[in-house]
């Protein structure tokens, strides 16, 4: 394991790479299997760069066949290994859907044997990514019991939650936002603990409205919260879900009990989404806490456009989030 204890500033993708290396050093049963992860290439986003040299025979290139990658990982997990698989793009999780939900997610409940795989999915949009390389597939997977689904938004969580995911005896879907890989750089001390899997955190305290998000959209929400305070004097409490299944409703409801208002902002489509689940759960469990209808702001409900300007218009940004929050506060 790394002996580094001093704080440094590193990128989101470097934190993922460091977590993978630390876990492979800690546990010989951990191996990496995925598309172009080995050799000098280090994966499409360089998350595994250098690990094949450090751990010979444990960073393995796969065919471009997500169904086969997942099936191999499930078999290895059932025989005592802890595989970490990487798809080049989360959009193609649909190809492995049967393996993920009917096998990995259900195996313990059918046979009593754990299936500790960690599936790393590069999620979300970047300018020019288009409809096949920009999706947020978490709603497909959170619908299925047996899977843990996480979506870290910070460097510290990318590191700590990945290590916790690999240690977890349940299959984990680990959603890494592509835009954050190299754009997000933060001070980081690997010796500091992070909140456990399943726990949401309050990223910014506030009194007027609860703003819930996850993954890269958390940063848009924090920018919106700062803008609302500066421009309108609205105090926004920002909650980072971090884990989408299980969902930490206790933290959400505790926040809504303080603010009496809820807005959920995500990059995903609105229909059948995590945002819809949060709004529904708060309406059911915390209706008496609300002074305004809960609101969700999501991507436009169309396939994701290629053109950077259309892509920017397709997903929420800080200004659209600010408008939604102001409308809720002034209800």
Positions marked active-site: 133
- Report the alpha-carbon distance of residue 287 to residue 285 in Å, rounded: 6
- Residues 6+ away with beta carbon under 8 Å from 94: 137, 140
The dihedral through the CA atoms of 88, 92, 95, 100 has a sign that is positive
Please give the C-alpha separations between residue 3 and each of 54, 185, 194, in angstroms, as whole numbers.
Answer: 16, 21, 18
Q: How many other C-beta atoms lie within 10 A of the C-beta of residue 247? A: 18
Helices (H), 47-101: 51-54, 66-78, 97-98
Contact 51, 42 (CB under 8 A): yes
Structure tokens that stand for 318 in this block: 């800080």
- Report the alpha-carbon distance of residue 186 to residue 15 in Å, rounded: 10
Do the strands 209-213 and 262-265 form a parallel or antiparallel pair, or are they unpaired?
Answer: parallel
Contact 257, 291 (CB under 8 A): no
């Amino acid at each position: 394991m790394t002996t580094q204890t001093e704080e440094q500033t590193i990128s989101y993708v470097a934190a993922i790479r460091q977590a993978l290396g630390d876990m492979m050093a800690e546990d010989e049963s951990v191996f990496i299997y995925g598309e172009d992860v080995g050799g000098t290439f280090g994966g499409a986003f360089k998350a595994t760069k250098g690990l094949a040299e450090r751990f010979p025979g444990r960073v393995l290139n796969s065919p471009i066949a997500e169904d086969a990658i997942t099936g191999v990982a499930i078999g290895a997990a059932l025989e005592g290994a802890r595989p970490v698989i990487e798809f080049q793009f989360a959009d193609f999780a649909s190809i492995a859907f049967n393996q993920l939900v009917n096998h990995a997610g259900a195996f313990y409940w059918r046979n009593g044997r754990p299936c500790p795989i960690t599936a790393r999915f590069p999620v979300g949009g970047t300018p020019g990514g288009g409809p096949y390389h920009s999706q947020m597939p978490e709603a497909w997977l959170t619908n299925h019991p047996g899977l843990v689904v996480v979506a870290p938004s910070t460097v510290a969580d990318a590191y700590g939650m990945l290590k916790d995911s690999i240690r977890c005896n349940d299959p984990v879907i680990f959603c890494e936002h592509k835009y954050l890989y190299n754009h997000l750089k933060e001070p980081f001390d690997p010796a500091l603990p992070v909140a456990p899997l399943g726990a949401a955190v309050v990223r910014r305290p506030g009194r007027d409205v609860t703003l819930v998000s996850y993954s890269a959209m958390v940063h848009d929400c924090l920018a919106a919260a700062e803008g609302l305070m500066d421009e309108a004097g609205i105090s926004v409490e920002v909650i980072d879900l971090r884990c989408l299944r299980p969902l930490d409703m206790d933290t959400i409801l505790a926040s809504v009990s303080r603010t009496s208002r809820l807005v959920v902002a995500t990059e995903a489509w609105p229909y059948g989404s995590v945002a819809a689940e949060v709004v529904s759960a708060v309406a059911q469990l915390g209706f008496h806490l609300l002074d305004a209808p809960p609101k969700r702001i999501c991507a436009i409900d169309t396939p994701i456009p290629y053109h950077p300007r259309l892509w920017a218009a397709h997903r929420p940004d800080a200004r659209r989030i600010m408008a939604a929050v102001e409308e809720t506060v002034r209800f």
